[in-house]
Amino acid sequence: MKQDFLNYIQETFDFSKKEMSDFEWALSKPLGKSIRINTNKISVGDFKKIATENAWTLTESGLGKNMFYIDREDTSVALWNMLEHINGYFYIQEVAASSSPYYISGDIVDTDPYLILDMSASPGGKTTQLAEYYPNSLIVANEIDKARLKWLFINLNRMWAENVVCTNYDGRFFKQTGEIFDKVLLDAPCSWEGTSFKTDDALKYWNLKNIKRIAKLQFGLLEAAVKSTKVWGEIVYSTCTLNTLENEQIIEKIMKKYGDILEIIPVSKKNDFQRNWPHKNNTGWFFVAKILKIASLEEDLKIISKVQQWFEKIASKDIKNIKSYLLDRFEFDGSIYNFYTYRDEVYITSKTLDSLWERLFFKKTGIKIWTLKWSEFTPWFYLGTLFPFSAWTIDISGSELDSLFKWESLESELSDGYYQAIYKNHPAGMCKVKNGKFESLVENSFIRG
Ligand SMILES: C[S@@+](CC[C@H](N)C(=O)[O-])C[C@H]1O[C@@H](n2cnc3c(N)ncnc32)[C@H](O)[C@@H]1O
């Protein structure tokens, strides 16, 4: 119950009456809308030009070069349904929620090739952020919940996170992989106190018994993170909750058990951990801790049986054909990619998966670029969101874009085939023309109401 929560906060953090009333007031205060510009698809400078054209005001968030608060004059179309969002130019992300990748990277793009695990990744806010900070790394984005995996897939495609593969394990599985990851992010499932600005539910059902149950899972996941990290690798643990049981106490417990192989890396000169408070930071609530692994666990691992993948590697002669087709038809240079197939779908990733092929069962191997159904080739919508092609394009107006994103078909005199829609010089995804009608191949999750 909300009152139990307030009592807990008051007692645990010894807040004065004044601070407690500021805290309570901040609980119900809506947060400013914020976005992260996806520099994998557009530069901050080019995005700012679009913002000016759209009469959007961007204000620096103070946390990360790409994070901005956004104010819009015209809100008739929801932000998530704007072309710029569907095209993956930005991710709608709460400022404090972006802080774990910020603290992993120090807000610096690192081009070294690491193996990174994002242990509980859906819907992918932080995974897509890691894909920007670590463009040459292979990122394994894991999520236990199949329904939530769908949103991870959509966001990875939309943001064109081509160095990310997905798995569907209980995160505790990773204690069996051996010490293989250079960095592990555990953005842990938590009691979600910190989402109380979105919904009252987290506080309505707040109780210590529930929190202790979640804390047990969090410890198990963090233990798996410790076991799967390489020596001199880093682990970042974060939650969007304020109680100490799910935060400091988890770190205390892990240090107690593995203190001889771990060190806490303080997030600042003043603090070991980052704690964002609603009434102090004017952001969502967030906790971040950073840990360095300084020695091996030297455990004898149970040998994991060889994984049988659903995905297959495409034969090199077929890859040659695919690459030349991509180049001729879509001006898309496939030379740096690895190609995988699952049933009738073709996927590309900028990283080779060889080192993990027999160890992890993949649910997604990079970005899907097309499907082949009943001998009909269908390019994936997002292939047409990367850059404007010089041929096979259709210029569309704002009202046509609106119709396409309502999945309405428009009249066309073009011959049957696949084209890229272009709106105000921006690529607006792949479209299909058939029998004088053209329609967008946009995913149904983005259909405008
Ligand atoms: C805080 S959310 C992650 C948010 C995500 N990192 C982002 O930034 O978009 C926690 C996620 O952990 C998942 N989860 C819950 N239990 C898990 C487990 N045992 N192993 C792996 N993931 C788990 C939940 O389904 C949820 O998607």
Our answer on whether the CB atom of 222 is closer than 6 Å to any ligand 1 atom is: no
Q: Can you spell out the DSSP letters for 149-168?
A: HHHHHHHHHHTT-TTEEEE-
Nearest-atom index, ligand 1, CA of 145? 25
Amino acid at 64: G
Our answer on whether the CB atom of 223 is closer than 6 Å to any ligand 1 atom is: no
| SS3 state at 343 | coil
Distance 178 CA to ligand 1 centre (A): 22
Our answer on whether the CB atom of 135 is closer than 6 Å to any ligand 1 atom is: no
Q: For residue 62, is it left (φ>0), alpha (ψ between -120 and 50) or beta?
A: left
284, exposed or middle or buried, with CB in 10 Å at 0-12, 13-18, 19+? Answer: buried
Distance 190 CA to ligand 1 centre (A): 8
Our answer on whether the CB atom of 284 is closer than 6 Å to any ligand 1 atom is: no
Our answer on whether the CB atom of 122 is closer than 6 Å to any ligand 1 atom is: yes
Instruction: Report strand pairing: 34-37 vs 67-72.
Output: antiparallel
Distance 55 CA to ligand 1 centre (A): 35
Distance 417 CA to ligand 1 centre (A): 40
The sign of the torsion formed by the CA atoms of 263, 264, 267, 270 equals negative
Our answer on whether the CB atom of 194 is closer than 6 Å to any ligand 1 atom is: no
**Which residue's CA lies nearest to atom 10 of ligand 1?**
189
Active site residue 431: no
Query: Which residue among 95, 100, 117, 120 has the greatest number of ligand 1 atoms within 8 angstroms of its CB, and so is best to mutate?
Result: 120
117, exposed or middle or buried, with CB in 10 Å at 0-12, 13-18, 19+? Answer: buried
Closest by CA position to 247, among listed 236, 257, 258: 236
Question: Tens digits of per-residue pLDDT, 4-24?
Answer: 888 999 999 999 999 999 998
Closest by CA position to 36, among listed 104, 103, 105, 84: 84
Name the active-site residue from 166, 190, 240, 431: 240
Nearest-atom index, ligand 1, CA of 124? 9
The dihedrals phi and psi of 289, each to the nearest 5 degrees, come to -130, 145
- Angle (nearest 5°) at CA 43 between 366 and 130: 40
Distance of CA 83 to the CA centre of its chain: 19
Distance 148 CA to ligand 1 centre (A): 9
Q: For residue 6, is it left (φ>0), alpha (ψ between -120 and 50) or beta?
A: alpha
Q: Can you spell out the DSSP letters for 240-253?
A: S---STTTHHHHHH
- 360 within 8 A of 181, measured Cβ to Cβ: no
Our answer on whether the CB atom of 121 is closer than 6 Å to any ligand 1 atom is: yes
| SS3 state at 363 | coil
Enter the tokens of residue 294.
């300084």
341-370 burial code (b ≥16 CB/10 A, e <16)? bbeebbbbbbbebeebeeebebbbbbbbbb
Q: How many CA atoms lie within 13 A of 448 on its CB side?
A: 21
Rounded Cα gap, residues 187 and 185, in angstroms: 6
Rounded Cα gap, residues 140 and 278, in angstroms: 32
- Give the pLDDT of residue 200: 63
Torsion of CA 290, 121, 102, 211, to 10 degrees: -50
- Domain architecture of the chain: domains with CATH: 388-449 (2.30.130.60)
- Give the pLDDT of residue 90: 98
Our answer on whether the CB atom of 130 is closer than 6 Å to any ligand 1 atom is: no
**Which residue's CA lies nearest to atom 22 of ligand 1?**
120
Distance 352 CA to ligand 1 centre (A): 26
Distance 170 CA to ligand 1 centre (A): 10
Alpha carbon of 407 to those of 270, 379, 384, 402, 425: distances in Å?
53, 17, 17, 9, 21
Query: Which residue among 122, 177, 238, 287 has the greatest number of ligand 1 atoms within 8 angstroms of its CB, and so is best to mutate?
Result: 122
Nearest-atom index, ligand 1, CA of 220? 19
The total of other beta-carbon atoms located within 10 Å of residue 245's CB is: 18
The total of other beta-carbon atoms located within 10 Å of residue 150's CB is: 14
Nearest-atom index, ligand 1, CA of 190? 1
- Give the pLDDT of residue 207: 84
Nearest-atom index, ligand 1, CA of 239? 1
The dihedrals phi and psi of 188, each to the nearest 5 degrees, come to -70, 150
Rounded Cα gap, residues 300 and 135, in angstroms: 33
Q: Give 86's contacts (C-beta < 8 A, 6+ positions apart).
A: 158, 385, 405, 429, 442, 446
Distance 194 CA to ligand 1 centre (A): 15
**Which residue's CA lies nearest to atom 25 of ligand 1?**
145
Our answer on whether the CB atom of 85 is closer than 6 Å to any ligand 1 atom is: no
Residues of the chain with pLDDT under 50: none
Nearest-atom index, ligand 1, CA of 189? 10
Instruction: Report strand pairing: 417-423 vs 393-395.
Output: parallel
| SS3 state at 419 | strand
**Which residue's CA lies nearest to atom 13 of ligand 1?**
120
Q: Give 268's contacts (C-beta < 8 A, 6+ positions apart).
A: 274
